[in-house]
Structures are given as C-alpha cells and as structure tokens.
Amino acid sequence: MSSKPKLYYFDGRGKMESIRWLLAAAGVEFEEEFLETRDQYEKLLQGRSLLFQQVPMVEIDGMRMVQTRAILSYIAAKYNLYGKDLKERALIDMYVGGTDDLMGFILVFPFLSAEDKEKQHAVIVQKATSRYFPVYEKVLKDHGQDFLVGNNFSWADVHLLEAILMVEEKKSDVLSGFPKLQAFKARISSIPTIKKFLEPGSQRKPVPDDKYVETVRRVLHMYYDVKAN
C-alpha cells in the first residue's frame, strides 16, 4: 500500500467528498483511483477489498476501510479533529450527524428526474433554513466561540462548511438570515488547509454532472430511479 491514503471511488463527489474534505483539512495528501468501468468494481469485489460490497473504500495505515462514517471517524481521531474528551466527541458526532442528514437531501439530487429535482430543490432550502442552519446559528451565538466544539477546529466545523457550500450551490443567499454562520463560513474558509482545498486545481470535486451520474449508474448497475426524500 502507498504511504499516502488511497481513495477508491468515482471521479465525483458522492459519499467520498466528505472524506476528501477531512483529509484536506488535516493537511494530508492522498491518492485516488477512479472507478470508470464495471470491471474495475468487479475486481475489487473479487479481491474482497470491499467488505460490504460497496464504496467508498480507503487504504490507510495498512487497512482497507469501508463505511463512510468509520473512515471519517478514524481520520478525525488520527489527526486530532475529534475533540479532547468523550463529551466533545459526542457533540462532534451529534453535529456531524445533523449535517449528514442535510447532505443526504443533496447527495441524491443528481440522480432524480427533472420533476423530482424541482421538488427536492425546495426541500433542501426549506430543511436548511428551518431545521439545520438555525441549530448551528444558535450554537455559535450561545457559546460565542469561533468553532462549534471546545473552541478548537474539528471535524464538525469541516463538515458544516462543506454542507453550507453545498446548499449555497442551490441558493446562493441561503445564509442571509444567519449572521453567525456567515462569519463562520468566512473564518473556516480562511484556514490555510481549507483555503488550499477551495482553490482551483485541488482534489475537491465539482457539482455532479450527467457524466458522473452515467458513470455511477453503469458501474453499480443502477437500473432504477432514485426517489426524492
């Protein structure tokens, strides 16, 4: 295995994007192998590299890890982005769980029909502005600190920034009613490792397009339409 983490996924966001974000935030260089054909996927299956027959899969520290949450938890702990004690870790898990829920509405978006996309767009904005962003706005207001947990940069901050930018791609002024989150976005985006990841030419992936959707469907034999949340 390479000394650098190696990521196995499609050349697009999906569930791997949060892993890219967290590694980048930690300042860790990583390699990627993009799945473009069914044969590549079958080879991983036959080699028993995919424990539950699914990607993302990450080679790191002599392990072949699957299950996105397990991978993210390991990276966060390894690079000191997971709080200083159990209480902080629980808070980070709670906040990450919330942003995961919000991201879930967005991850399915590229695979929806045109009619469902219109409906899902409204759902994403509504959920963000009435259910999720108010929570983080209140957290930042109540404790008056720069970060979500323990006044230290953590996985929770990385995940929230990723979610904010994803929603802004659907509605650019979505933070207009959230001054604390506006300041948070600017603050976290200016952290050197994050700033580098946000610059053109980084390993951050663009908004999923038709080519990405077609590749995923072909490799995974997705012969069905995804349903909106």
Question: Are residues 113 and 53 part of one domain?
Answer: no
CATH code, domain with 108: 1.20.1050.10
Which of helix, strand or coil describes residue 65? strand
Find out whether the peptide bond into 5 is cis, omega within 30 degrees of 0. Answer: no
Confirm whether 22 is domain-assigned: yes
Which of helix, strand or coil describes residue 83? coil
CATH code, domain with 54: 3.40.30.10
Question: Are residues 115 and 41 part of one domain?
Answer: no
- Return d(Cα 23, Cα 93) in angstroms, integer: 17
Question: Are residues 163 and 113 part of one domain?
Answer: yes
Contact 4, 29 (CB under 8 A): yes
The model's pTM: 0.95
Question: Are residues 24 and 96 part of one domain?
Answer: no
Question: Are residues 99 and 184 part of one domain?
Answer: yes
pLDDT tens for the chain, residues 1 to 229:
568 999 999 999 999 999 999 999 999 999 999 999 999 999 999 988 888 989 999 999 999 999 999 999 999 999 999 999 999 999 999 999 999 999 999 999 999 999 999 999 999 999 999 999 999 999 999 999 999 999 999 999 999 999 999 999 999 999 999 999 999 999 999 999 999 999 999 999 999 999 999 999 999 988 666 666 6
Q: What b-and-e string marks burial along 177-211, b requiring 16 or more CB atoms within 10 Å of the CB? A: ebebbeebbeebeebeebeebeeeeeebbeebeee
Contact 95, 136 (CB under 8 A): yes
Question: Are residues 107 and 58 part of one domain?
Answer: no
Domain that holds residue 175: 86-190
Question: Are residues 214 and 155 part of one domain?
Answer: no
